[in-house]
């Protein structure tokens, strides 16, 4: 196995710090105040997310792993001659290991590109896949969109490309954003290439609330860590204790929203973002949306982005869908 990183990491890190400061300045002055969910994933955020995946109330990870284990062989039967896999937002890489080991023994040699904003996630993904023979790994520490652009510049190898977008990461995009992003993935593929999309389904409100506001407080720590990150990286003076975690099921929009709620009125300075913000008591910062879908809606979204459905598998226990489509 070989591992290499794309681009100059030092340069990327300087750009990423500037972008973080600019985004904090822009999004925290919107009403309602917001922060993009991708900033939840610094090293501690990635570790807390891994812990969330082990919680009894977060069924997404186990449901998707079950589907990958059972239907992994079908993926590679329906999509023969895969020579490249691109995983967007891989987390610890465990799901891709399950997929590759379940059915891709004939897909060798294989190049796997991991695109993730979290360097901790990329390191973990490379380690997780490190035992596989005849696999070359390329790490792209960047956003999904920039990663797709980087990949478009790389020469194609013979064989098909399979893009993989798991964990219901698609649910973090708002509705037009999700459609646009699926079209961006399609533009990076050739006819006959594949996309495997894992997306969470609408389920009873109690199950959704427990998944995003667990009794152990791990999801609350994951959310509040964003303020810890702003304090550390941008010199902010958020009193982290003065913000509570709130998860709300917005049925009309079919999404779970995560917010940080000011427990008292306060003023916060963030020097690197050249920002001072006053919060009223009860004022919220919206940090993440997780849209929930119906199976047919997922197929319709993919078809309108230029794909044809090859298969859809559903986990009936935790209500989760894995959809395999081919670029047309």
**Choice from 28, 104, 121, 299 touching ligand SAM (CB under 6 A):** 121
> Which residue, chain included where needed, has tokens 């708002």?
174
Interaction between residue 197 and ligand SAM (CB under 6 A): no
> Do residues 242 and 264 lie in contact, with contact meaning Cβ atoms separated by under 8 Å?
yes
Strands 266-270 and 275-279: antiparallel
Interaction between residue 71 and ligand SAM (CB under 6 A): no
Size of the site for ligand SAM (CB under 6 A): 20
Stretch that binds ligand SAM, among 14-22, 111-119, 181-189, 212-220 (CB under 6 A): 111-119
d(CA 58, CA 62): 8
Interaction between residue 35 and ligand SAM (CB under 6 A): no
d(CA 264, CA 48): 26
Interaction between residue 116 and ligand SAM (CB under 6 A): yes
Q: What is the CA radius of gyration of the chain?
A: 20
Interaction between residue 91 and ligand SAM (CB under 6 A): yes
Tell me the residue nearest to ligand SAM as measured from the CB: 167
Q: Is 244 helix (H, G, I), strand (E, B) or coil?
A: strand
Stretch that binds ligand SAM, among 27-35, 85-93, 201-209, 266-274 (CB under 6 A): 85-93
Rounded to a whole number of angstroms, the minimum distance from the CB of residue 50 to ligand SAM is: 8
Interaction between residue 289 and ligand SAM (CB under 6 A): no
Rounded to a whole number of angstroms, the minimum distance from the CB of residue 282 to ligand SAM is: 28
Interaction between residue 39 and ligand SAM (CB under 6 A): no
Render the burial of 92-107: b for 16+ CB within 10 Å, e for the rest.
Answer: bbbbbbbbbebbbeeb
Using the minimum distance from each CB to ligand SAM, give the nearer residue, 41 or 291: 41
d(CA 104, CA 76): 6
Interaction between residue 6 and ligand SAM (CB under 6 A): no
Rounded to a whole number of angstroms, the minimum distance from the CB of residue 275 to ligand SAM is: 22
Q: SS in 3 state form for 91-140?
A: CCCHHHHHHHHHHHHHCCCEEEEEEECCHHHHHHHHHHCCCCCCEEEEEE
Interaction between residue 61 and ligand SAM (CB under 6 A): yes
Q: Is 290 helix (H, G, I), strand (E, B) or coil?
A: strand
Contact residues toward ligand SAM (CB under 6 A) are 38, 41, 46, 49, 53, 61, 89-91, 95, 115-118, 121, 143-144, 166-167, 169
């Amino acid at each position: 196995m070989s591992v290499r990183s794309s681009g100059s990491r030092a340069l990327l890190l300087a750009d990423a710090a500037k972008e973080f400061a600019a985004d904090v300045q822009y999004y925290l002055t919107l009403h309602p105040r917001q922060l993009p969910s991708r900033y939840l994933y610094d090293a501690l955020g990635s570790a807390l997310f891994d812990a969330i995946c082990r919680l009894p109330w977060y069924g997404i990870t186990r449901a998707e792993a079950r589907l990958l284990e059972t239907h992994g062989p079908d993926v590679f039967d329906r999509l023969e001659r895969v020579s490249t896999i691109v995983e967007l937002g891989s987390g610890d890489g465990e799901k891709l290991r399950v997929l590759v080991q379940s059915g891709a023994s004939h897909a060798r040699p294989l190049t796997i590109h991991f695109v993730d904003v979290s360097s901790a996630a990329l390191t973990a993904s490379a380690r997780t896949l490190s035992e596989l023979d005849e696999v070359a790994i390329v790490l792209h520490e960047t956003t999904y969109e920039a990663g797709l652009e980087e990949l478009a510049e790389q020469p194609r190898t013979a064989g098909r490309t399979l893009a993989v977008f798991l964990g219901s990461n698609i649910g973090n995009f708002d509705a037009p954003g999700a459609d646009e992003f699926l079209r961006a993935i399609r533009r990076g593929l050739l006819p006959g290439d594949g996309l495997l999309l894992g997306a969470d389904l609408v389920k009873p409100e109690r199950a959704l609330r427990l998944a995003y506001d667990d009794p152990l407080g791990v999801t609350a720590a994951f959310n509040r860590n964003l303020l810890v990150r702003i304090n550390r990286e941008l010199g902010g003076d958020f009193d982290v204790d003065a913000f509570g975690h709130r998860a709300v099921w917005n049925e009309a929009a079919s999404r779970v929203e995560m917010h940080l709620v000011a427990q008292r009125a306060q003023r916060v300075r963030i020097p690197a973002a050249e920002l001072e913000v006053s919060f009223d008591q009860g004022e919220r910062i919206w940090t993440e949306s997780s849209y929930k879908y119906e199976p047919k809606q997922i197929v319709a979204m993919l078809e309108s982005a230029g794909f044809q459905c090859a298969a859809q598998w559903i986990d009936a226990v935790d209500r989760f869908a894995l959809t395999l489509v081919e670029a047309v």
